[in-house]
A and B are shown apart, each in its own frame.
Chain A
């Protein structure tokens, strides 16, 4: 079981993702936008951050930018993107070593990812964000 913070502005998708991950036995917290998610991260770290990109106000990119230096995301980040997101978003995501799932995402793939992020060794396995992400100089 790992702690997962799910950030998604659409309440139905949010509920669906969190239901799905809870069923896999994860401890899930929910936020409807980037700002709320940052507050939650401030209060308590999480293992995995699952976030949407397009959200009103604070979007997923702003959240990742803020979350990386905080060091509160301890195992990895999964980003749910629109399939037709333009190149700029993809480039920024590429620079952060996050895992990207295009919407409509595969629930099976999502749980696989969360699982692999949290069971992969002591965080130094290839493909894990842990080793690279939460350093303050990155993503700023």
Chain B
């Protein structure tokens, strides 16, 4: 009964409606349909919806088309039934609809009414009834078409939002795994390019120079000489304006549209980000501007934080090294002791499966453990020969002194444990508190093993250095007494592996070991 032509999904809903409407009691043959405008649809039948009761769908469609030229422009609410105005012998009411372009709803009535004879024989009442019915039908179809179109517009918007949300979520997830400001910048700007449908975006750095980032497939990364935006001279005033106002702008240049916005970085430096669209890809919308604004604000915040974090980390490292240099300066014969202490502590912590962030703090504890020696008089610290009992009591104050020096630095937490307890022994005979076994924090146990090893292998004012193998042996003998057994074993494993697998690094870091090995080597 009905010819179903290939149609947009929403047409199917319309068809159901039309089916219900297209059986007025008195009409011998009624066709109701929606036609796309011929201007917009080269092949109207493919876009038309026809419910034809007894009529030839092709014929109805083509006849309906004749009304479209008018219907698309004017609302026709009276049908053309009179002789001469409806020479094809059918009645149509048509209303403009935007469904599928500038189309029209049409309702055609054929048969009896179109038959001139029947008309003359006085079907006036029927005609006007039918026309009323047909007109209502057309209005309904038109309204439904409008609602469907609105729906479809909303759906487009929601779908587009989904697309953007998805990209932003992806970006957030990816950024969480990246700690380098440059890498975040790259991720961010590639996303911006993708969201804008641009082949690439250009970043004009506040420090001069520019960087180009590719869109979806990363094409265009690096410098793309064919992109006009690598030459920033024509947009210099735009750059200045954006630096000043910090607002997104859309700019026309040489028949090409450019969207540009600020990326605010550390120290209020403003980079300017540009994207363009190839001609024929539509103008940038206010939605695009909003997108650029929020993406750059969001990204700028993260990049700034990351840069700040990097700067602080670098600064605290520099401060730490300055403090370490101060200790080593005072206690010259232990030169390099702190550096090696930091390195070996980290190596051992790694072997013990300590989480990465904690390895870093432990390394600091290894570096800073002897900082308290700054407060010990030089004549005691550097005294050649044996110390008196009193002198040794003074030396024993260095862990607590170190602790007092570092205590005001709140963020050092675990480091303080390492500094204060690095001369505690498992058997409880250590200082300053005489803690036993597990009472001693892990970081302190590690620093103690490493410290002992480095002390043994260093030349002291009162004795020569022990050979590495001898030092390891001495530590092994002290396991469980003055040395934590578990930590010592981890240290042995880590040290042996390091020496075996990284001979170059080992030679650079521990030159004294190599020399002492040579000295001990049998001729």
Chain A residue with the shortest CB-CB distance to B152? A19
Tell me if B155 and A16 are in contact (CB < 8 A): yes
Which has the most chain A C-beta neighbours within 10 Å: B162, B165, B167? B162
Q: How far is the CA of A104 from the CA of B165 in the complex (A)?
A: 6
**A102 interfacial by beta-carbon distance below 8 Å:** yes
- List residues of B (110-166) whose CB comes within 8 Å of A's CBs: 152, 155, 158-159, 162-163, 165-166
Tell me if B167 and A106 are in contact (CB < 8 A): yes
Tell me if B169 and A16 are in contact (CB < 8 A): no
In the bound complex, residues from chain B placing their C-beta under 8 Å from that of A16 are 155, 158-159
Tell me if B8 and A105 are in contact (CB < 8 A): no
- List residues of A (1-40) whose CB comes within 8 Å of B's CBs: 16, 19-20, 22-23, 28
A20's partner among B10, B155, B165, B169 (CB-CB below 8 A) is: B155
Tell me if A106 and B163 are in contact (CB < 8 A): yes
Tell me if A23 and B166 are in contact (CB < 8 A): no
Given A19-B9, A23-B8, A23-B9: A104 and B169 interface contact (C-beta under 8 Å): yes
Chain B residue with the shortest CB-CB distance to A27? B9
Given A19-B155, A20-B155, A20-B159: A102 and B169 interface contact (C-beta under 8 Å): yes
Tell me if A107 and B163 are in contact (CB < 8 A): yes
In the bound complex, residues from chain B placing their C-beta under 8 Å from that of A109 are 166
Tell me if B162 and A104 are in contact (CB < 8 A): yes
Q: How far is the CA of A102 from the CA of B171 in the complex (A)?
A: 13
Bin the interface of chain A by size: 10 to 19
Tell me if A105 and B152 are in contact (CB < 8 A): no
- List residues of B (161-185) whose CB comes within 8 Å of A's CBs: 162-163, 165-167, 169, 173
Q: How far is the CA of A107 from the CA of B152 in the complex (A)?
A: 15
Question: C-beta contact mask, B48-84 vs A, less than 8 Å → 1, else 0?
Answer: 0000000000000000000000000000000000000
A83's partner among B155, B167, B169 (CB-CB below 8 A) is: B169
Q: How far is the CA of A23 from the CA of B152 in the complex (A)?
A: 10
Q: How far is the CA of A107 from the CA of B173 in the complex (A)?
A: 19
In the bound complex, residues from chain A placing their C-beta under 8 Å from that of B9 are 19, 22-23, 28
In the bound complex, residues from chain B placing their C-beta under 8 Å from that of A43 are none
In the bound complex, residues from chain B placing their C-beta under 8 Å from that of A20 are 155, 159
**A122 interfacial by beta-carbon distance below 8 Å:** no
Chain B residue with the shortest CB-CB distance to A104? B165
**A108 interfacial by beta-carbon distance below 8 Å:** yes
In the bound complex, residues from chain B placing their C-beta under 8 Å from that of A106 are 162-163, 166-167
Q: How far is the CA of A16 from the CA of B151 in the complex (A)?
A: 10
- List residues of A (81-115) whose CB comes within 8 Å of B's CBs: 83, 102, 104-109
Question: C-beta contact mask, B338-369 vs A, less than 8 Å → 1, else 0?
Answer: 00000000000000000000000000000000
Q: How far is the CA of A19 from the CA of B154 in the complex (A)?
A: 12
Tell me if B159 and A107 are in contact (CB < 8 A): yes
CB distance from A85 to the nearest CB of B (A): 13
In the bound complex, residues from chain A placing their C-beta under 8 Å from that of B162 are 104-107
Q: How far is the CA of A26 from the CA of B163 in the complex (A)?
A: 20
Which has the most chain B C-beta neighbours within 10 Å: A83, A104, A108? A104
In the bound complex, residues from chain A placing their C-beta under 8 Å from that of B159 are 16, 20, 107
- List residues of A (44-84) whose CB comes within 8 Å of B's CBs: 83
Q: How far is the CA of A105 from the CA of B169 in the complex (A)?
A: 10
In the bound complex, residues from chain A placing their C-beta under 8 Å from that of B167 are 106
Q: How far is the CA of A20 from the CA of B166 in the complex (A)?
A: 16
Chain B residue with the shortest CB-CB distance to A109? B166
CB distance from B117 to the nearest CB of A (A): 46
Question: C-beta contact mask, A98-140 vs B, less than 8 Å → 1, else 0?
Answer: 0000101111110000000000000000000000000000000
Q: How far is the CA of A117 from the CA of B152 in the complex (A)?
A: 26
Tell me if A105 and B155 are in contact (CB < 8 A): no
In the bound complex, residues from chain B placing their C-beta under 8 Å from that of A23 are 8-9
Chain A residue with the shortest CB-CB distance to B6? A25
Q: How far is the CA of A23 from the CA of B148 in the complex (A)?
A: 13
In the bound complex, residues from chain B placing their C-beta under 8 Å from that of A108 are 163
Interface residues in chain B, defined as those with a beta carbon under 8 Å from any beta carbon in chain A: 8-10, 152, 155, 158-159, 162-163, 165-167, 169, 173
Interface residues in chain A, defined as those with a beta carbon under 8 Å from any beta carbon in chain B: 16, 19-20, 22-23, 28, 83, 102, 104-109
Q: List 16 A-B contacts (CB under 8 A).
A: A19-B152, A20-B155, A23-B8, A83-B169, A83-B173, A102-B166, A104-B162, A104-B165, A104-B166, A105-B166, A106-B162, A106-B163, A106-B166, A107-B159, A108-B163, A109-B166
Given contacts A22-B8, A28-B9, 19 further A-B contacts (CB under 8 A): A16-B155, A19-B9, A20-B155, A22-B9, A23-B8, A23-B9, A83-B169, A83-B173, A102-B169, A104-B162, A104-B165, A104-B169, A105-B166, A106-B163, A106-B166, A106-B167, A107-B159, A107-B162, A107-B163
